[in-house]
Structure 1
Amino acid sequence: MRSASIKDLLSGKDLLQEVTINGWVRTFRSNRFIALNDGSTLNNIQCVVDFEKIDEAVLKQINTGSALRISGTLVESQGRGQSVEIQVNNIYVHGNADPEVYPIQPKKHSLEFLREKAHLRARTNTFSAVMRVRSALAFAVHQYFRDNGFYYFHAPIITGSDAEGAGEMFRVTTLNEKNPPLTENGDVDHKEDFFGKETNLTVSGQLEAEAYAMALGKVYTFGPTFRAENSNTSRHLAEFWMIEPEMAFFDLNDNMDLAEDFIKSVISYILEHCQEDLQFLEKRLLDEEKTKPQAERSEMALIEKLKFISENNFKRVTYTEAIDILRNSKPNKKKKFKYPINEWGADLQSEHERYLVEKHFKCPVILFDYPAKIKAFYMRLNEDGKTVRAMDILFPGIGEIVGGSQREERLDVLKEKMAALDIPEEELWWYLDLRKFGTAVHSGFGLGFERLVLFATGMGNIRDVIPFPRTPQNAEF
């Protein structure tokens, strides 16, 4: 008999039929009541053992964490808390779990402890819910772009360019680390390396995606990126997934329209398809909030916050307007900002972004036309000569979630900007070619997928929304 999913069985549509399920034991009470979970749903199904049908030797093998195949009859439950249960006719033990050493016992575990058991933490309610929401969001991303005429583009993971210009990249090499070949000047001779040049793991697929947008019209990347930033904050990972659409013939306004519509679409998708998991995560978050001081508690519950995004128009504000608002705000005047705003040109911090969203406008915000000095070389210079056609989308509780821009399509301006930043033309000759052969207005943005999952699940640390986090001094599993 084909195995059914617990999610389907809990709907009750197979009532009074013989069913077979596979899953892992969450609890085993009174040597008779097995709570089984297969990952298809937050809820367990209760399996009631008939001692006359099941050998005692089999029951002795069953512990929390054991993997079982159970066959029996699906009936209305006689107990409270569930609508159906299985009257067990047969149990097969796929694999036992020694209760003396199995770490995921039916009790509350700290998130820090579970990070040390990342290979098993998805067996808890919290992490199974987070990973189901993550999966749904990933599906919604692909569905949105497919429905809107985009082509899925696979950007290279190994690259010879630093798209962000930050220099915080992981080197890729096959040279002997103890005795590398050297040039006459004593430097490492990268011409002897595998690729014949210095190469790194990518921080962004944007530059390559631009090339394909200028041929296919609209493309998007959705893949792993890497940043060697020695940061241990709750918002940073060394390996993370990026969503990066690039669109030919899109100006900044088109770009902002697309980004807003995209975010609303994927958030609406999980509100429709992940209700059970979101309700559980909301309750978990509310319980956690009760332990915090009143001033640190969120003003909105999780589902309310998601609807706040999907149902509100995003407010569009220039960087210059935002600076004026922040400079004249009470927190700034009373010196409550950690980073005071004194003059135009300041790089906004999360505290400033959250103030604009949560206190001043009380809706999602898109900031645009940033100072050129604090943005990347590839962003289109405005006519004022001091700002670029950049945009960031700001969310409550998290600050910036999307960064994008209209790209600089003018060859002469792009060359001038690269020269000012000491970016050698020979390193990006192909990128400059795009401005020589059929250049056109084009735009794009980047969204860190884990930040989106963090926002959607209400989790407090980005390490808890990716299966196996990679952070400084940590590449376990």
Structure 2
Amino acid sequence: MAAAALGPATSLRLNSGSTFRLLSFYPKSNRNYLPEILKTITKPHATPPKFHHFFQLSGLPRRRFFCSVISGALQSNESAKVGFLEKEKSEVGNRVGEFRKKLKIADIKGGPDEGLDLVGKTIVVMGWVRTLRVQSSVTFVEVNDGSCLSNMQCVMGLEAEGYDQVESGLITTGASILVQGTVVESQGSKQKVELKVNKIVLIGKSDPSYPIQKKRVSREFLRTKAHLRPRTNTFGAVARVRNALAYATHKFFQENGFVWVSSPIITASDCEGAGEQFCVTTLIPGSQEVANSPVDRIPKTKDGLIDWSQDFFGKPAFLTVSGQLNAETYATALSDVYTFGPTFRAENSNTSRHLAEFWMIEPELAFADLTDDMACATAYLQYVVRHILENCKEDMEFFNTWIEKGIIDRLTGVAEKDFVQLTYTDAVELLLKAKKKFEFPVEWGCDLQSEHERYITEEAFGGCPVIIRDYPKDIKAFYMRQNDDGKTVAAMDMLVPRVGELIGGSQREERLEYLEDRLDELKLNKESFWWYLDLRRYGSVPHAGFGLGFERLVQFATGIENIRDAIPFPRVPGSAEF
């Protein structure tokens, strides 16, 4: 199924057809031990499933531990790579080994027994050190591999192989390690099981300057460390929920017969007509020349204007603000389609609600009107909310405790309550009667602000999602279908608690003459939309769709206040780091 193909990727692991580059780590006199080593490493997987004891090197002389050899290789900057992480190059003609899912902490602790069913089993865990506590006779190492919020508590005695790396201070917070041990019932109350360590291997050292220690740091600071912030509880949880929302998005549309369409990133049209686009051009010299490039090198016409005919595309081109118009072309052939990709707005808004680069989900339904559009938007939102409540329970509990108290109840209400719809005119009347002073005054024809939207959904309707429909045409885009009153268009906005507008959609104008008149009215160049107009010439059908900013959805689902924390690498005015 297509949705399954879009599921989260898993990492490669070593299997029964793999070997290690150990030869260079041992003196020539010990070469006779190598066959036994390889037999041990490449033996079939033992319990638990999909794992085997590939680090049990009992045939080696005890004077040199395997982990010590690896540590020595890391410290001495030898040209050879760490053996156990690098597959031997296949001999000519050998078949590719079988791919196997790697055992992760989420697999161990995420079951109904929270790992108790694995007690007594020997397993291997690989991840990054969150905390390390050294006591007189025992050391506690908290390891996290990013698969879940929980760490694996690893309890290590002085007899554990590789303990010398702890004693010497090589293993510190932030280091990547491999731990082999036996699953045992935990003596503590925070977890059901822990790992009694037999062997620990340092994979990658962590410099003392590692900025993410146990003490809490602000999200503002972490935005300056966006390459490391996924290692924190908050941003790890946000990343996992974002992933779950993306998976659920594809799953919903695929299950309902939609076809995913890849819309272009570079376009010559402005879907929203707002002019807030990033220009894509080769008239300005490339990155290696830009520092010393004079302005007069840009080609000009006789009138002194930029000569776009000499540009790469022969005319002005921009980063897309929406994939909607392209989706409409496929909807008129495949009936129901959706796009899911990055979009860009050159809007100079340095706020907690705006990004210059963000992802959009934009379904398009053929043979559909505004009522169908609202029904689809409602079903989609309830589907993805139910998905994260059922599949991201640990992360959602974390958000409920540390980010927004009551978020689980709020989301449960969205998943279970009936949505309310009212016209824009009724919404304005409701706001005018409200016993509340708004920062932005309300009148018919104004564009509703976030404070108005949140009042309607949070206070007027007690936290119930609300859809407002039939907006004045003067505040909406050119492609929206004009209603019979001549003043409004068949547009809708879905408002949800804490966010305000989450989804915006409309029935599209399928009548050629109306669409041409609207383009003329807004002084938009019809030649740029010739292909869009063609859709109305050749078998036009009523159709509708909506757009959803994915980062707004992530905010809504996690309670994260600043949209810059809902995307891995935020792009905002004055900042394009990482």
TM class by shorter chain equals over 0.9
Match 2:533 to one of 426, 429, 432: 432
- Residue in 2 that maps onto 1:355: 455
- Taking the aligned partners of 1:250 and 1:390, their CA distance within structure 2 comes to 13
Match 1:247 to one of 365, 368, 372: 365
Contact 2:163–2:200 (Cα < 8 Å) also in 1: no
Match 2:517 to one of 416, 419, 426: 416
- Residue in 2 that maps onto 1:69: 178
- Residue in 1 that maps onto 2:126: 22
1:258 correspondence with 2:366: no
- Residue in 2 that maps onto 1:280: 398
1:9 correspondence with 2:117: no
Shift of 1:183: 0.8
Aligned residues: 458
- Taking the aligned partners of 1:212 and 1:418, their CA distance within structure 2 comes to 22
Matches within 5 A, 1:169-188: 169-176=277-284, 178=295, 179-188=297-306
Match 1:163 to one of 271, 275, 297: 271
CA distance 1:91–1:379, change in 2 (3 Å) = same
Matches within 5 A, 1:95-174: 95-99=204-208, 101-174=209-282
Which letter does structure 1 place at the counterpart of 2:308?
Answer: H
Moved over 6 A (4+): none
1:92 correspondence with 2:193: no
CA distance 1:240–1:127, change in 2 (3 Å) = same
- Residue in 2 that maps onto 1:323: 428
CA distance 1:84–1:436, change in 2 (3 Å) = same
Q: Please list every run of 5 or more consecutive structure 1 residues that lacks an aligned counterpart in the other structure.
A: 287-299
Match 1:303 to one of 404, 408, 411: 408
Shift of 1:188: 0.6
Contact 2:162–2:199 (Cα < 8 Å) also in 1: no
Larger radius of gyration between Structure 1 and Structure 2: 2
- Taking the aligned partners of 1:433 and 1:196, their CA distance within structure 2 comes to 22
- Taking the aligned partners of 2:516 and 2:316, their CA distance within structure 1 comes to 22
- Taking the aligned partners of 1:245 and 1:4, their CA distance within structure 2 comes to 36
Spell out, residue by residue over 1:305-328, the C-alpha distance to the aligned partner (whole angstroms, 9 max, x if none): 101211111101000111111111
- Taking the aligned partners of 1:181 and 1:355, their CA distance within structure 2 comes to 52
- Name the SS for the 2:458 alignment partner: helix
Spell out, residue by residue over 1:158-188, the C-alpha distance to the aligned partner (whole angstroms, 9 max, x if none): 0000001111111000113531111111111
- Residue in 1 that maps onto 2:312: 194
Shift of 1:361: 1.7
Shift of 1:56: 4.5
- Taking the aligned partners of 2:572 and 2:501, their CA distance within structure 1 comes to 21
Shift of 1:368: 0.4
Which letter does structure 2 place at the counterpart of 1:44?
Answer: N
Which letter does structure 2 place at the counterpart of 1:36?
Answer: V
- Taking the aligned partners of 2:573 and 2:371, their CA distance within structure 1 comes to 38
Which letter does structure 2 place at the counterpart of 1:249?
Answer: F
70-79 vs 389-398, which moves further: 70-79
- Taking the aligned partners of 1:358 and 1:366, their CA distance within structure 2 comes to 13
Shift of 1:424: 1.3
Match 1:450 to one of 541, 546, 551: 551
Contact 2:238–2:566 (Cα < 8 Å) also in 1: yes
Shift of 1:53: 2.6
Shift of 1:241: 0.2
Shift of 1:55: 4.1
CA distance 1:56–1:262, change in 2 (3 Å) = closer
- Name the SS for the 1:444 alignment partner: strand
1:228 correspondence with 2:346: yes
Aligned-pair identity (%)? 56
421-430 vs 6-15, which moves further: 6-15
- Residue in 1 that maps onto 2:9: none
Query: Alpha carbon RMSD of aligned pairs, Å?
Result: 1.1
Higher relative contact order (Cα pairs below 8 Å, separated by 6+ residues): 1
Contact 2:160–2:200 (Cα < 8 Å) also in 1: no
- Taking the aligned partners of 1:74 and 1:435, their CA distance within structure 2 comes to 65
Spell out, residue by residue over 1:442-466, the C-alpha distance to the aligned partner (whole angstroms, 9 max, x if none): 0000000000000000000000010
Which letter does structure 1 place at the counterpart of 2:148?
Answer: T
Q: Please list every run of 5 or more consecutive structure 2 residues that lacks an aligned counterpart in the other structure.
A: 1-50, 53-101, 286-294
Match 2:574 to one of 446, 458, 473: 473
Which letter does structure 2 place at the counterpart of 1:7?
Answer: A
1:83 correspondence with 2:205: no
- Taking the aligned partners of 1:309 and 1:183, their CA distance within structure 2 comes to 57
- Taking the aligned partners of 2:162 and 2:119, their CA distance within structure 1 comes to 26
Spell out, residue by residue over 1:22-43, the C-alpha distance to the aligned partner (whole angstroms, 9 max, x if none): 0000000015110001011101
- Residue in 2 that maps onto 1:375: 476
Shift of 1:4: 2.2
- Taking the aligned partners of 1:307 and 1:164, their CA distance within structure 2 comes to 33
Spell out, residue by residue over 1:35-93, the C-alpha distance to the aligned partner (whole angstroms, 9 max, x if none): 00101110111111121233443112110000000101111112332211111111111
- Taking the aligned partners of 1:55 and 1:256, their CA distance within structure 2 comes to 60
Which letter does structure 2 place at the counterpart of 1:193?
Answer: D
- Residue in 2 that maps onto 1:295: none
- Residue in 2 that maps onto 1:293: none
TM-score (norm: length of structure 2): 0.78
- Taking the aligned partners of 2:245 and 2:536, their CA distance within structure 1 comes to 35
Which letter does structure 1 place at the counterpart of 2:160?
Answer: K
- Name the SS for the 2:365 alignment partner: strand
- Taking the aligned partners of 1:429 and 1:330, their CA distance within structure 2 comes to 49
- Taking the aligned partners of 1:83 and 1:370, their CA distance within structure 2 comes to 55
2-11 vs 75-84, which moves further: 2-11
Match 1:45 to one of 147, 152, 162: 152
Spell out, residue by residue over 1:188-244, the C-alpha distance to the aligned partner (whole angstroms, 9 max, x if none): 111100000100000000001000000000000000000010111111000000000
Contact 2:162–2:200 (Cα < 8 Å) also in 1: no
TM-score (norm: length of structure 1): 0.94
1:267 correspondence with 2:385: yes
- Residue in 2 that maps onto 1:292: none
- Taking the aligned partners of 2:162 and 2:410, their CA distance within structure 1 comes to 51
1:54 correspondence with 2:172: no
